[in-house]
Amino acid sequence: MVKAIRVHEFGGPEVLKWEDVEIGEPKDGEIRVKNKAIGLNFIDVYFRKGVYKASTIPFTPGGEACGVVTAVGPGLTGRQVGDIVAYAGAPMGSYAEEQILPADKVVPVPESIGPVIAASIMLKGMTTQYLLRRSFKVERGHTILVHAAAGGVGSLLCQWANALGATVIGTVSTKEKAAQAKDDGAHHVIIYGEEDFVARVNEITSGNGVDVVYDSVGKDTFQGSLACLKLRGYMVSFGQSSGAPDPVPLSALAAKSLFLTRPSLMHYNATRDELLAAAGEVFASVATGVLQVRVNHTYPLSQAARAHADLEGRKTTGSVVLIP
């Protein structure tokens, strides 16, 4: 038996229960991993609330972790006991001391990157990679708008886009978060409680608008994000921390020949080759200093409920990691 966080009903942070679970032994193509660090992401909140539906109830949430291989399934090659590996995305279940994982879903972690950094960078880093490199390919000369610029993904978007030569505009909720976003490479920072971000973006861009908006906030910012785009601009909606956006009529896109996409990490890392390439680029960006990972908060795994409450209450910045 191992300890894990279990969800028996949808609801607030209080539904996260610390319980004993049986995980069994790895089968063909599987490994067992003893987690050393577990990444907390807003998608975990969506599953806890039932916004996204888990395949079973009860379930163990979480989709990001780094740990050591403690057992391998029969006949498996390429992985061995003692390997340090990390994963992000599917399958769900990382809020546990140990878990069974498909061997083809994990990646080897370079010795230069510790477990806490690996657990904080896998999902957010690979999300940042596909957003900037594939959903819309950011290049020198582009101007981009990043909402929640001091959050886990937002922080990495600002750093990486700045390194690519883009002009970065970020929105945040407090002066403290504004200072962090500036440190992370945002050239202009808007505190949206104090000023209208649409008017401010219009001013910064001399009325031209931005090439792309990266919006993880959803309902509260969606319409304004569309208004910030230039002709043929790209709206990349990759989250909904404030709730689901209202339906968008095609006429709203036709006004400026806009592009709208709602991407998912698992669709951009659909193959083993895509997964290895994305993780490799993220780890290389950490090693070369392009990405400075901000693990500003760690909590014991048993206190995941408090971590969720702080994340939803906007009390956190950067990455949050749970320690078994």
Of 242, 262, 282, at which residue does a domain stop? 262
Q: What is the CATH number of the domain that holds 80?
A: 3.90.180.10
Could you tell me which residues are beta bridge partners of residue 29? none
Determine, yes or no, domain membership for 28: yes
**Mean pLDDT, rounded, for 97-113:** 96
pLDDT surpasses 80 at 318: no
Determine, yes or no, domain membership for 281: no
Note the helical H segments in the chain: 42-49, 115-130, 152-163, 175-183, 197-204, 222-228, 250-254, 265-268, 272-287, 304-312
**Same domain flag for 319 and 252:** no
* Percent with pLDDT over 90 in the chain: 90
pLDDT surpasses 80 at 212: yes
Write out the residue range of the structural domain in which residue 7 sits. 2-120+294-323
pLDDT surpasses 90 at 254: yes
Of 218, 241, 262, at which residue does a domain stop? 262
**Same domain flag for 249 and 298:** no
C-alpha to C-alpha distance for 128 and 20, rounded to whole angstroms: 35
pLDDT surpasses 90 at 6: yes
pLDDT band at 3 (very low <50, low <70, confident <90, very high): very high
pLDDT digits (tens, 9 = 90+) for 130-170: 999 999 999 999 999 999 999 889 999 999 999 999 999 99
Comparison of pLDDT for 241 and 107, the residue scoring more: 107
C-alpha to C-alpha distance for 91 and 62, rounded to whole angstroms: 9
Q: Checking phi first, is residue 314 left (phi over 0); if not, alpha (psi -120 to 50) or beta? A: left
Residue 86: partners with Cβ closer than 8 Å, 6 or more residues away: 64, 65, 66, 67, 106, 107, 109, 118, 119, 122, 279
**Same domain flag for 148 and 253:** yes
**Same domain flag for 154 and 224:** yes
8 A C-beta contact, residue 169 and residue 146: yes
Q: What is the pLDDT of residue 78?
A: 85
Q: What is the pLDDT of residue 241?
A: 84
Q: What is the CATH number of the domain that holds 231?
A: 3.40.50.720
C-alpha to C-alpha distance for 67 and 36, rounded to whole angstroms: 5
Residue for token digits 């193959």? 271
Closest-CA residue to 311 (of 129, 126, 127, 39): 39
pLDDT band at 294 (very low <50, low <70, confident <90, very high): confident
pLDDT band at 177 (very low <50, low <70, confident <90, very high): very high
pLDDT band at 315 (very low <50, low <70, confident <90, very high): confident
**Same domain flag for 113 and 177:** no
**Mean pLDDT, rounded, for 33-59:** 95
Determine, yes or no, domain membership for 135: no
Q: What is the pLDDT of residue 90?
A: 84
pLDDT band at 314 (very low <50, low <70, confident <90, very high): confident
Residue for token digits 């960078």? 121
* Percent with pLDDT over 70 in the chain: 100
**Same domain flag for 148 and 255:** yes
pTM more than 0.85: yes
Could you tell me which residues are beta bridge partners of residue 144? 168, 212
**Same domain flag for 107 and 54:** yes
Determine, yes or no, domain membership for 280: no
Determine, yes or no, domain membership for 207: yes
8 A C-beta contact, residue 95 and residue 61: yes
Determine, yes or no, domain membership for 247: yes
**Same domain flag for 116 and 149:** no
Determine, yes or no, domain membership for 131: no
**Same domain flag for 48 and 158:** no
Count structural domains, the chain.
2
**Same domain flag for 187 and 236:** yes
Of 245, 262, 279, at which residue does a domain stop? 262
**Same domain flag for 113 and 151:** no
Q: What is the pLDDT of residue 316?
A: 85
Q: What is the pLDDT of residue 109?
A: 97
8 A C-beta contact, residue 118 and residue 109: yes
pLDDT surpasses 80 at 171: yes
**Mean pLDDT, rounded, for 284-311:** 95
CB atoms within 10 A of CB 141: 10
| Cα atoms found within 13 Å of the Cα of residue 87, Cβ hemisphere only | 28
Determine, yes or no, domain membership for 289: no
**Same domain flag for 116 and 144:** no
Q: What is the pLDDT of residue 193?
A: 87
**Mean pLDDT, rounded, for 171-183:** 95
